[in-house]
Amino acid sequence: MTQHYSLFDGPHAPVILPDTLPTLSVLGLPLINSTSLKVIPQLLQTQPQTVYFLNAHCANIKARDRSYASALARATHVLPDGIGVELAARMTGGHFEENLNGTDFTPTLLRVAAERGLSVFLFGASPGTAERAAQKLAGDLPGLRIAGIRDGYEGARCAQAAIAEINASGADIVLVAMGVPKQELWIDQHRSALKARLVMGVGALFDFLAGNVTRAPLVVRKAKLEWAWRLMQEPRRLAKRYLIGNATFLSRAGFHALRRIPSETVWKRALDLVGSGILVAMLAPLMVLIATLIQIESRGPALFKQVRVGQNGRHFTIYKFRSMYLDAEDRLAALRGQSDREGICFKSRHDPRVTRMGRVLRRASLDELPQIFNVLLGQMSLVGPRPALPSEVEHFPVAAQERLRARPGITGLWQVSGRADIGFEKMIDMDIAYVRSRSVLLDLFILAMTARAVIGGRGAY
């Protein structure tokens, strides 16, 4: 473990960063799965590093260009760029901590570089573009030292001359903007001759900085709708890249994901989608009626939202019909000793926080209906272990962690075996048994038994 410092040296306390950054595989390529706060200090270390970005357009080129694919494989780091890559990761159950797109990430990195007294060389783009980009950076980032600039046309014709000028400048960072895959192939061929500690392929960054290409508004970028915004600006030129390109990439990513997913998992997800879709269509009027009655009895929203722990420990927001008064969470600590269930999960038959309408909903398990939308979103399954609170998971025994291997469900083995009458340890045993033997046939059996348990109302309160 090596000690590095936070993004802003000086009064801030040092932080400990791992020597290697975590990755997430997309189409067989490991992409960095971390935040700017953790990635930037790693990239600004003294050892030579090569960094590229991967978006849907890049991935499509990678699929047909072996030289480009090899260059990506030899990079020190490849960073995820864009919603297409994020969606591809989710197809295999993954999720990126942050979208490290070059046009936002690189200026942030240069800001930190400026604070550390590092210099940058801008190489690439059309004549005059690198110069205007340098002026923009110098104005936005006081203290950033521009070691030199060189265009990517005549200035790139002689590689030896370009390398000599870059090395003579003493630049710590070299940004190469020639477009994909030309920039990666150029860097891959000449990286050993470059003395800079960090060399990055940055695509159209210089054009953005120079004002040649208009950026989407920040609110649009945060909403991950930049591709749609660009189509509205330049539909003819960009339709192929942003629509067809993303569709091609995602279909390829989907096929790649399906090859890695056991067929049983695919069928289980199909059951979830079909089942939850049918339930939404059938129960929509009932859910509207329930929401109305809840609000008539007590003030506040009809839906209750709470963070729960899902598959592989990922947090998500669960939806339920509100069955308690609004101050229920504040009153929980005082009621811990009244739990009717052994173990860390609180459950009380005579919980004073529950409304009259809430008791009816719980007795018939109707408070769980909004979780159908969690199933549609892929956060839950129709059948699986119940999703626990983060505070409960923190106190889980080691054996109980195995229940997190499965996607949590609306119903499960313990619900059809007595529900709240089942103790914590027995509930865990049932969940682990389900995780180890889950199948579509077992899910169908549990769903049938759930209907019987709901009608009987055993253990529901």
Read off the pLDDT of residues 19-53 as tens digits, 9 standing for 90 and up. 579 999 887 899 999 999 999 999 999 999 999 99
Kindly report which listed range (58-62, 101-105, 238-242, 447-451) carries the lowest average pLDDT score.
238-242
In the chain, the percentage of residues whose pLDDT exceeds 70 is 75
Per-residue pLDDT tens over the stretch 428-440 = 878 888 888 778 8
Phi first, then psi, for residue 213 (nearest 5°) are -125, 130
| Strands 2-4 vs 15-17: parallel, antiparallel or unpaired | antiparallel
Confidence of residue 18 (pLDDT cuts 50, 70, 90): very low
C-beta separation of 369 from 276 below 8 A:
no
Residues 6+ apart with CB under 8 A from 213: 204, 207
CA torsion, points 245, 248, 254, 255, in degrees to nearest 10? -150
Any idea where the domains of the chain sit in the sequence?
Answer: 2-257, 263-456
* pLDDT higher than threshold 60 for residue 344: no
The residues facing 23 across adjacent strands are: 32
* Dihedral angle of Cα 425, 430, 436, 437, to the nearest 10 degrees: 170
Which pLDDT tens digit goes with each residue over 298-327?
888 889 899 999 998 899 999 999 888 877
Task: Using the predicted structure, report yes or no on whether residue 356 has a pLDDT greater than 70.
Answer: yes
Q: Is the pLDDT of residue 10 over 60?
A: no
List of E strands, 195-273: 198-201
Q: What is the mean pLDDT of residues 251-263?
A: 56
pLDDT score, position 450: 81
Q: Residue 265: what pLDDT?
A: 75
What is the per-residue pLDDT for 16? 38
Report the alpha-carbon distance of residue 35 to residue 40 in Å, rounded: 9
Question: Is the pLDDT reported for residue 196 higher than 90?
Answer: yes
**C-alpha separations of 357 from 279, 297, 339, 340, 397 in Å:** 22, 7, 21, 21, 35
